[in-house]
Amino acid sequence: MRVRQTSHRVKQTDAPIIVKTQKLTASAKGVVSLAQGIVHWNPPQQATDAVVEAAGDHTLNQYGSGAGLPDLVKALEHKLATENGITQFEVMVTAGANQAFTNVVLTLLDSQDKVVLFKPYYFNHLMAVQMTGGADNVVYGRCNPESWHPDLNWLEGCLQSSNPPRMVVLVNPCNPTGVLMSKSELQRAHKLCEQAGAWLIVDNTYEHFTYDGRQHTCVSGPHVVNIFSMSKAFGMMGWRLGYIAYPNADLAADSEVGFQMSKVQDTIPICVTQMSQVAAVGALDAGSPWIREQVQGLSSNREAILDALSPLADGTNSGVAGGEGAIYFWAKLPQGCEDDEAVVSWLVKEHKVCVVPGTACGCPGYVRVAFANLEEGKCKQAATQLKRGLQQLVDQGAAALDRSTSAEKGVDRSAAPNEDL
């Protein structure tokens, strides 16, 4: 009998790290997670009020426009023009920013085309490229080893090569590093891609999360596609609402971008859940002032996690990056503890706190730590546990991991779930 197997594309796709960390967190009692990049607040009242008011609208039970509810598209067009300064664009509403990125990959890339992802990359971006057959054609860009900003000199050389990439992907502010590209850096990347005839895709999911007076900026042009999300800023993770701003037919290098992308949209969701779009219209009524208030409330969390990472800073902060934007810090593990997956498992077992291993982002020996997913009290508790664990690693090195393993030898764990990363 012939054995039926899964596709080569899916087998080449990385397993979702957040699912792994969720299982790992659930494998022991009392574990607090600093792993998943979510926020602890709920959507604004305007969003829930809009949903309640629309509950009896039977038209929302039907299929909607692939581009999005007209009221939502209009509100997003206004936001993109006035807040982001984007011009000559069209909007497509998607089921989150991950679906937006998948739409873009399917529309603009063939499997043999090269695409640049800067290490450390956002894991779901790599998964989307892998799943669509492009795993062997990812070009991993370099970041400055001290600032962790994308190395644009490297990008210039890459784009000027005999076989340049067709697409360059930036996440700004960055998941996983928490750094924020400046306006001049974005403009340089924009110009380099324009000169090379490459698409520039900018994921702006964390546009509202900037700190210490920094500001997020956008670029636009015939070769630029911007991706946005309502999940983080508005606390709408489960509502699955993102959107794409792509160049319109008058501006686009390929005037059929919208038409071709509509094929992808119709094949995957047909349309985004209409009630989610109603909630999004209400959230946009609350707008940036409401978001600013929530983000400002993260200051104590941010300080607590930065302090928790101080054992890795060695007095210079050279081992810790981020805090400029998004909701993450990026930290280098002590020498001898480069097996970040083992460290993450050890932190869960010994110190009841979970983070994301850098291996999931293409950089072993590092960890990503989130600071927005817990309310202040719980975040401080998690920070205390994390600091204690990291200090033990600094003091004892890999011996701390070895002792933990040795202590478990001879213990019957056959009934316990094996949830190690």
SS3 367: strand
Pair 176, 170: CB distance under 8 Å: no
Task: Output the CA angle 364-370-373, nearest 5 degrees.
Answer: 145
**Residue that is written with structure tokens 């792509």 in the block:** 246
Q: How far is CA 87 from CA 104, 215, 248, 259, in A?
A: 19, 19, 9, 19
DSSP single-letter state for residue 325: B
Task: Output the CA angle 80-84-88, nearest 5 degrees.
Answer: 55
Q: What six digits make up the tokens of 325?
A: 């934007």
C-alpha–C-alpha distance, residues 214 and 322, integer Å: 13
Is the overall model pTM greater than 0.75, yes or no? yes
Digitized pLDDT (tens) for each residue of the chain, 421 residues in all: 677 789 999 999 999 999 999 999 998 899 999 999 999 999 999 999 999 999 999 999 999 999 999 999 999 999 999 999 999 999 999 999 999 999 999 999 999 999 999 999 999 999 999 999 999 999 999 999 889 999 999 999 999 999 999 999 999 999 999 999 999 999 999 999 999 999 999 999 999 999 999 999 999 999 999 999 999 999 999 999 999 999 998 776 667 899 999 999 999 999 999 999 999 999 999 999 999 999 999 999 999 999 999 999 865 556 899 999 999 999 999 999 999 999 999 999 999 999 999 999 999 999 999 999 999 999 999 999 999 999 999 999 989 998 765 555 444 433 333 334 4
